[in-house]
Amino acid sequence: MTSWLKNLMKKRIMWPVGALVVLILVNVLYRPSFLKITVLDGRFYGSLMDILRNSAPLMLVSLGMCLVIATRGIDLSVGSQMAISGAVALTIISHSPTPNSLATVLGAIGVGVLITLLFGIWNGFLVALLGIQPIIATLVLWLAGRGIALLITGGFITTINSAPYKTIAQGNVLGFPVEFLIGLAAIIVVVLLVRRTALGVLTEAIGINPAASRLAGVRSRGIIWSLYGLSGLLAGVAGILYSSNIMAADSNAAGNGIELDAILAVVLGGTSLAGGKFTLGGTVVGVFIIQTLASTVTFLGVPSANVSVFKAAVVIVVVVSQAPMVRNWFGRQFRSSKTASPTATPVAMERTAA
Amino acid sequence: MDVAPIVEVLGAHLRFTGDVALDDVDFRMFPGEVHSLMGENGAGKSTLIKAMTGALRLDAGTMRLDGKVVSFSGPAAALHAGISTVYQEVDLLPNLSVAENIMLGREPRRFGHIDWALMRSEAVKALAVMGIDVDPRSPLSSHSLATQQLVAIARAISRDVRVLILDEPTSSLDQDEVSELFRIIRELKARGVAILFVSHFLEQVYEICDRITVLRNGKLIGEYKTTEMLRIDLVQKMLGSDSANLTVIEAREQSPAGPGGRKAVVAARGLGRRGATLPTDLDIFEGELLGVAGLLGSGRSELARLLSGVDISDTGVLTVHGRRRHFRQPRQALREGIAYSTESRKVEGIVAELSVRENITLALQADRGWIRRIPRARQDELSVSWIEALDIRPADAERRAGVLSGGNQQKVLLARLLALAPRVLILDEPTRGIDIGAKVEIQRLIGDLAANGMSVVFISAELEEVLRVGHRILVLRDREIVAVLDPDAVTFEMLLAIVAKADGDD
């Protein structure tokens, strides 16, 4: 086995990328048109474009989730926050005398996203300052969020007619869907924010060893707090995308269950739920796996009752293939027999030693 | 001796990534005898216990139980063979009842259901042996830590126990509870149980133990009868006095003996923290090398943690450069130029999954805040120059810090703090568990730093080392400073006597 292939095998991100490639190959096998992109009226069409476009809300939510998970946390409230931002934005537009003015729409979006930012900060307050377990702290808003959204819309599904708002999810710029471009922009902004500053490495330090980070003078509290805020903000934008797609604020359906898909995307991408090292690239691939899977299921005509079983099967394969035991086993198959014996002391022992 | 040992460990050897935890250790326990395992932090006591109870597996060496070679697959197997352990941290389930905790894992059953009445009566029986009177139905968490500790012991001895291991059982008990525990230990001893009693309270060891095995840095120092061992000799064996590396270090530079005209950088007046440090007065002078000596449990680390904001003081005043400071976070102390290097490298020092470069620049980056990232070129420059200056091996800045040996991890930690250019550097056992070469290098480095005007507080369990390195020596015992010494005026034996408090007993 050549060395570059070995190095490739070692890279964690290769596993999710491999899974995505296999998934795409399966699709190509069943529908050769899968990879085809046609240009019509200066716009790109095709299954791949659909996947890129539809993945945007999950992408936004997963990027935030990835950073929160890196701090040893979790944010269950993202779906509910999507409902809130949609409800706020659409209520403002529907009450406005000028629903078609760009200023109204931008203002409505601004307020909607600002409110979820505040809710994210609330989550951060519970976790970072009060020290409540993240899963419980964010469960509060997971429960209450949809109620708040319903209160805002008065219990109805608010629908609107607003051309600028419709453009967000359904418009095109330079032939690309706006929704996709927003997702792309989010990836770029978050990656720059995390890797061009020291936010990423400090977040990893906190996630790997909080005690050591404290002794080194890292402001863990502030960092954890702002990451929950960021997660809220991204969920807010995702909620705007969702409501723009259906031009309605459906507080019960918006982002329903998306928190679990986001966690799955993060884990599929190779970031451990135990916190610490994270990979935004892996998370992006994880989102595409989930979205491609959804598209595959629809195309293969899997009866809707069986969709979750099908999804579960794929997830099991990907997750199991990433388990340390399986990875080590694969590693041993590829290694020559001379170097086969791994170190005598497993990591678990190092931890118990103290 | 005509009695055969009940437990015998021969040639135990165990390594954790890079560090030797046990190196060819022999250990044995006799029925009806209380045996104590003594040693400082990192001597290998806990590791040996874990190996005996099946929690860890030895790389090499054998263990015999009743003369037969055994190898436990896990703690359950050891328990089944009659080896019960009570760990230092109570490992019970606080939200279950006392009875459930005692009978955990072997609940009496009737027709497939738990027989609650029988379970309670069994638990009451076990508690009665211990002489503790608590309601077996009450949740464990409603009781004091001491009672919980006693419940843990009741649980251990309610089985058919032949070997009982008590890992620092008295650290949370008061005087009466300790004597109650000792009464139980004597009863078990009379029943022929072999008991391993680990404690750093010398008084208790001398009161209850028949035999002492001393470990140091993972090596067996020896096995002794308590009656034939003077306390001062025991302490010396625990702390060691290897004169092997004495010659390597050049004679300490002649420095102005007394702090004379020098300014105090840090001054503590009545600084203390309940349960950890008694109110303490202390000055740290500019450019001095302050050695701190004391046994485990003397409060040496606790004092360092108060000075550096790791723990929060609840009495007294701390002034830094003449200004009053009350640190609530290590960050605040770092801002004032006080850097603390922890004694537990793995737990709160190294960020194992980050690279050496990221570890070295961590504190500096934290100081700059997350927005102003240290440019990558500067990071490389910094880490390369520190790797070179401290001779960190392998000289690879991108290597995961967790895979380095103990000595090199210590150097990475030092580099992290030195990159901040602190004015006061507090080193808590920087030379523990690292090989002799790295040790000498670190000692030399400390001397250089002080010569350049940095104040260095050097805490070590090795008296030789403190004596050799320090300009002034602080001795701690029972959570307070008992002496401040001039190293030129004291001998190793004198220091040992003060540390061990040889007067008044023996």
pLDDT in tens, A279-292: 999 999 999 999 98
* CA atoms A330, A334, A337, A343: torsion sign: negative
Q: What is the pLDDT of residue A2?
A: 55
Please state, in angstroms and rounded to a whole number, the distance separating the CA atoms of residues B42 and B46: 8
CB contact, 8 Å: B17 with chain A? yes
Domain membership of residue B305 (yes or no) is: yes
Detail the DSSP E strand segments found in B2-92.
Answer: 7-16, 19-29, 34-38, 60-65, 68-70, 83-86
Same-domain pairing of B228 and B248: no
Closest by CA position to B25, among listed B34, B15, B33, B17? B15
Tell me: do B119 and B45 sit in the same domain.
yes
Interchain contact, A215 vs B370, CB within 8 Å = no
Shortest distance, CA A230 to any CA of chain B (angstroms): 15
Residues B297, B426, single domain; the answer is yes
Residue B458 has phi, psi (to 5 degrees) of -120, 110
Q: Are B351 and A219 within 8 A, CB to CB?
A: no
Q: Are the C-beta atoms of residues A290 and A61 closer than 8 Å to each other?
A: no
Cβ pair B454, B272 in contact under 8 A = no
Q: Which of these three, B180, B204, B239, is where a domain ends?
A: B239
pLDDT at A300: 78
Please report, to the nearest 10 degrees, the dihedral formed by the alpha carbons of residues B54, B55, B61, B65 taken in order: -20
Closest partner residue to B310 (CB to CB) among A208, A215, A352 is A215
Inter-chain touch B354–A349, beta carbons under 8 Å: no
Same domain, B268 and B215: no
Distance CA(A108)–CA(A100), nearest Å, equals 12
Q: How confident is the model at residue A344 (pLDDT cuts 50, 70, 90)?
A: very low
Under an 8 A CB cutoff, do B17 and A208 touch? no
**Chain A residues 318-337 within an 8 A CB cutoff of chain B:** none
- Name the residue in chain B with its Cα closest to that of A206: B351
Same structural domain for residues B201 and B265? no
Question: Which chain B residue has the Cα nearest residue A212?
Answer: B348
Whether the per-residue pLDDT at A3 is higher than 50: the answer is yes
Question: pLDDT band for position B359 (50/70/90)?
Answer: very high
Spatial contact of B132 and B126, defined as CB atoms under 8 Å apart: no
Is A201's CB within 8 Å of B367's CB? no
Q: Which of B16, B342, B363 sits opposite A217 (nearest CB)?
A: B363
- The reported pLDDT for the residue numbered B250 is 40
CB A183 within 8 A of CB A56: yes
B364 touches A: beta carbon within 8 Å: no
Closest chain A residue to B348, measured at CA: A212
* pLDDT tens string A142-199: 999 999 999 999 888 888 888 889 988 888 888 889 999 999 999 999 999 999 999 9
Q: Reduce the DSSP state of residue B321 to 3 states and report it.
A: coil
Q: What are the two backbone dihedrals, phi and then psi, of residue A171, each rounded to the nearest 5 degrees? A: -90, 175
B390: in domain: no
Q: How confident is the model at residue A59 (pLDDT cuts 50, 70, 90)?
A: very high
Distance separating alpha carbons of residues A44 and B491, to the nearest angstrom: 86
Q: What mean pLDDT, rounded, does chain B reach?
A: 84
- Indicate if the pLDDT at residue B500 is higher than 90: no
Percent of chain B surpassing pLDDT 90: 33
Q: Is B334 on the interface with A (CB under 8 A)?
A: yes
Which residues of chain B neighbour A209 with C-beta distances below 8 Å?
A: 348, 350-352
Give the closest-approach CA distance of B250 to chain A in angstroms: 33
CB atoms within 10 A of CB A191: 15
Helix axes A324-334, A3-10, angle to 10 degrees: 180
If one counts every other C-beta atom within 10 angstroms of the C-beta of residue B175, the result is 8
Kindly report the nearest CA distance between residue B378 and chain A, in angstroms.
Answer: 13
Beta-carbon contacts of residue A195 (< 8 Å; ≥ 6 apart)? none
Average pLDDT, chain A: 86
Tell me if A208 and B354 make a contact (CB, 8 A cut-off): yes
User: Is position B506 within any domain?
Assistant: no
Q: What is the CATH number of domain A51-301?
A: 1.10.3470
Please give the pLDDT value at position A336.
Answer: 44
Same domain, B301 and B194: no
The rounded distance, in Å, linking the Cα atoms of B239 and B295 is: 8
Whether residue B379 is contained in a domain is answered as no
How many beta carbons lie within 10 A of that of residue A342, not counting itself? 11
Query: Does residue B387 form part of some domain?
Result: no
Please give the residue range of the domain that contains residue B196. Answer: 7-239
Cβ–Cβ contact B331 with A under 8 A: yes
Q: How far off is chain A from B161, nearest CA to CA, in Å?
A: 25
Rounded mean pLDDT, B49-65? 88
Residue B335: list chain A partners with CB under 8 A: 217
Residues of chain B with Cβ-Cβ distance to A199 below 8 Å are 370
pLDDT in tens, B432-489: 767 667 777 888 888 888 888 899 999 988 888 888 889 999 999 888 898 899 888 8
Residue B295 in domain = yes
Are B331 and B441 contained in the same domain?
yes
Assign B505 to helix, strand or coil.
coil
The answer to whether A277 faces chain B, any CB pair under 8 Å, is: yes
Mean pLDDT value of segment A322-332: 71
Higher pLDDT among residues A14 and B451, named by residue: B451
Answer whether residue A345 shows pLDDT above 50: no
The total number of residues shown for chain B amounts to 506
Least confidently predicted of A241-250, A254-263, B135-144 = B135-144
A339, pLDDT greater than 90 = no
Please name the member of A197, A215, A343 whose beta carbon is closest to the beta carbon of B371: A197
As a whole number, mean pLDDT of residues B23-43 equals 87
Output Rg (C-alpha) for chain B, integer angstroms. Answer: 25
Question: How many distinct structural domains can be found in chain B?
Answer: 2
CATH for B430: 3.40.50.300
Interface check A192 vs B, CB under 8 A: no
Question: Inter-chain contact B350–A209, Cβ cutoff 8 Å?
Answer: yes
Tell me how many helices (H) and strands (E) chain B has: 17, 22
Residues B225 and B248 in one domain: no
Residue B180 has a CB neighbour count (10 Å cut-off) of: 17
pLDDT at B133: 79
As given in the structure block, the two tokens for residue A161 are 């007619």
Helix (H) or strand (E) holding B477: strand B472-477
B-chain residues near A349 (CB < 8 A): 16, 56-57
**Residue-wise pLDDT tens digits, A97-116:** 888 889 999 999 999 999 99
Q: Do B350 and A212 touch (CB under 8 A)?
A: yes
Contact predicate A82/A238, CB 8 Å: yes
Phi, psi of A43 (to 5 degrees): -125, 150
Under the banding of pLDDT at 50, 70 and 90, the label for residue B238 is: confident
The segment with the largest mean pLDDT, out of A35-44, B223-232, B497-506, is B223-232
Q: What is the 3-state secondary structure (H, E, C) of chain A?
A: CCHHHHHHHHCCCHHHHHHHHHHHHHHHHHCHHHHCCEEECCEEECHHHHHHHHCHHHHHHHHHHHHHHHCCCCCCCHHHHHHHHHHHHHHHHHHCCCCCCHHHHHHHHHHHHHHHHHHHHHHHHHHHHCCCCHHHHHHHHHHHHHHHHHHHHCCCCEECCCHHHHHHHHCEECCEEHHHHHHHHHHHHHHHHHHCCCHHHHHHHHHHCHHHHHHCCCCHHHHHHHHHHHHHHHHHHHHHHHHHHHCEECCCCCCCCHHHHHHHHHHHCCCCCCCCCCCHHHHHHHHHHHHHHHHHHHHHCCCHHHHHHHHHHHHHHHHHHHCHHHHHHHHHHHCCHHHCCCCCCCHHHHHHHC
Question: What sign has the CA pseudo-torsion B137, B140, B145, B150?
Answer: positive
A349 at B interface, C-beta within 8 A: yes
Examine the domain organization and report whether B235 and B248 are in the same domain.
no
Q: Note whether B223 and B275 are same-domain residues.
A: no
Mean pLDDT value across residues A205-216: 95
- What mean pLDDT is predicted for residues A236-250? 92
| In-domain check, residue B393 | no
Helix (H, G, I), strand (E, B) or coil at B21: strand
Cis omega (within 30 of 0) for bond into A164: no
- Report phi then psi at A299, rounded to 5: -65, -45
In this complex, is the C-beta atom of A29 within 8 Å of any C-beta atom belonging to chain B?
no
Mean pLDDT of the region B244-249: 39
Q: Which of A10, A196, A215 to mutate to test the interface with B (most CBs of B within 10 A)?
A: A215
Structure tokens, B146: 């001491």
Cα B61 to chain centroid distance, Å, stands at 25
Residue B179, CA distances (Å) to B132, B174, B198, B231, B299 in order: 13, 9, 16, 21, 24
Query: Using CA of residue A126, residue A128, residue A129, residue A134, what is the dihedral sign?
Result: positive
Same domain (yes/no): B217, B277: no
For residues B229 and B316, membership in a common domain is answered with no
